[in-house]
């Protein structure tokens, strides 16, 4: 019999009865429940909550941590040696890619301007752009990046995928200096790691084409905010940002009023239905764990 730890009663309901599994419920705060020292498989809570190293130390038999988010950076410092970390790859990919496309199209079609005109009851046509014929550079060839590339291709744009390692259909990050000048749109869909933090810096932005659009639906720290603000204020680049650095964005931050930027408050994932998708993955992982089969979504070097 295996013992697992779930973050709350809703998670227990969504997992449902699982053969050969005992369940304890604990989110890492307050007094731990009986049986916590027998836990081998832990499901982390959603929404950025992590467990402290002290809480994890209450589970000496722990061997697997399953997260419900694609990003893992907040958990990495706390994961005990020898414990396998799995992320939520596939849970939020569809909604996040959907928002990336929606935000990009809103910028290209100048929807914020038309919202202002509607508010002011002004009927004034202006030239807008289409994805048709554009070249889109997608940083990240995982679930989100692949989905973004598929959609832009359906809309008659050309998509180029970039990842750490070159493979058929995917260019390496090392090729970015050359690729940036060849594309009209750059979509950031990378995990936050030591390698990617600050990747989109002043030099990166300067290498982008005049009038290009930057889309960030990954993590705010991947983009150097001050450098981006400078490019926006010069009206050389445009941007759609679902994530920022800092986050939440302070009310007096210059990014709010920079021209050519559309901002949403980190709402890419977590749409209705996410929990069902998440715990479908959890059930599959538990089945694999109990059967001694290889787990999905095992994180290596932050990916």
CATH number at residue 197: 3.40.50.720
Whole-number pLDDT of residue 48: 65
Helix %, strand %, coil % of the chain (to 5): 30, 20, 50
Can 197 be counted among the known catalytic residues?
A: no
What would the 3-class secondary structure string for 40-98 be? EEEECCCCCCCCCHHHHCCCCCCCEEECCCCCCCCCHHHCCCCCEEECCCCCCHHHHHH
Of 219, 224, 245, 277, catalytic:
219
Can 236 be counted among the known catalytic residues?
A: no
| Whether residue 276 sits in one domain with residue 257 | no
Whole-number pLDDT of residue 301: 77
Whole-number pLDDT of residue 303: 76
Whether 50 has a pLDDT exceeding 90, the answer reads: no
* Position 299 in a domain: no
Can 247 be counted among the known catalytic residues?
A: yes
Query: Which structural domain range is residue 197 located in?
Result: 93-263
The predicted model gives 242-259 an average pLDDT of 97
Of 116, 178, 247, 293, catalytic:
247
What confidence tens digit (pLDDT) does each residue in 76-117 have?
999 999 999 999 998 999 999 999 999 999 999 999 999 999
Whole-number pLDDT of residue 18: 83
* Position 300 in a domain: no
| Whether residue 104 sits in one domain with residue 72 | no
| Whether residue 197 sits in one domain with residue 119 | yes
Whole-number pLDDT of residue 20: 84
What confidence tens digit (pLDDT) does each residue in 148-196 have?
999 999 999 999 999 998 999 999 999 999 999 999 999 999 999 999 9
Whether 49 has a pLDDT exceeding 80, the answer reads: no
* Position 59 in a domain: yes
Tokens of 30: 């307050």
| pLDDT band at 70; cut points 50, 70, 90 | confident
Q: What is the pTM of this model?
A: 0.92
Of 92, 147, 224, 266, catalytic:
266
Tokens of 227: 């450098």
Whole-number pLDDT of residue 263: 98
Whole-number pLDDT of residue 143: 93
């Amino acid at each position: 019999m295996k013992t697992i730890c779930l973050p709350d009663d809703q998670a227990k309901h969504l997992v449902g009865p699982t053969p050969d599994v005992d369940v304890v419920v604990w989110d890492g705060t307050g007094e731990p429940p009986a049986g916590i020292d027998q836990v081998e498989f832990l499901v982390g809570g959603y929404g950025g909550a992590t467990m402290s190293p002290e809480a994890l130390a209450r589970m000496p038999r722990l061997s697997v941590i399953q997260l419900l988010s694609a990003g893992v950076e907040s958990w990495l410092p706390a994961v005990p040696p020898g414990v396998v970390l799995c992320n939520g790859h596939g849970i939020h990919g569809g909604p996040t890619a959907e928002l990336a496309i929606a935000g990009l199209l809103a910028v290209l079609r100048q929807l914020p301007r038309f919202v202002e005109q509607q508010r002011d009851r002004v009927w004034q046509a202006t030239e807008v752009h289409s994805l048709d014929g554009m070249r889109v550079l997608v940083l990240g060839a995982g679930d989100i990046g692949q989905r973004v590339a598929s959609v832009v291709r359906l809309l008659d744009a050309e998509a180029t995928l970039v990842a750490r390692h070159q493979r058929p259909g995917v260019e390496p990050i090392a090729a970015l200096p050359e690729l940036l000048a060849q594309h009209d749109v750059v979509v950031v869909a990378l995990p936050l790691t030591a390698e990617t933090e600050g990747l989109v810096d002043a030099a990166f932005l300067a290498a982008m084409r005049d009038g290009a659009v930057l889309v960030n639906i990954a993590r705010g720290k991947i983009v150097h905010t001050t450098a981006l603000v400078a490019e926006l204020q010069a009206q050389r680049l445009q941007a759609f940002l679902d994530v920022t650095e800092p986050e939440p964005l302070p009310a007096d931050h210059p990014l709010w009023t920079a021209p050519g930027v559309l901002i949403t408050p980190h709402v890419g994932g977590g749409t209705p239905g996410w929990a069902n998708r998440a715990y479908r993955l959890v059930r599959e992982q538990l089945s694999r764990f109990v059967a001694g089969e290889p787990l999905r979504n095992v994180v290596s070097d932050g990916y």
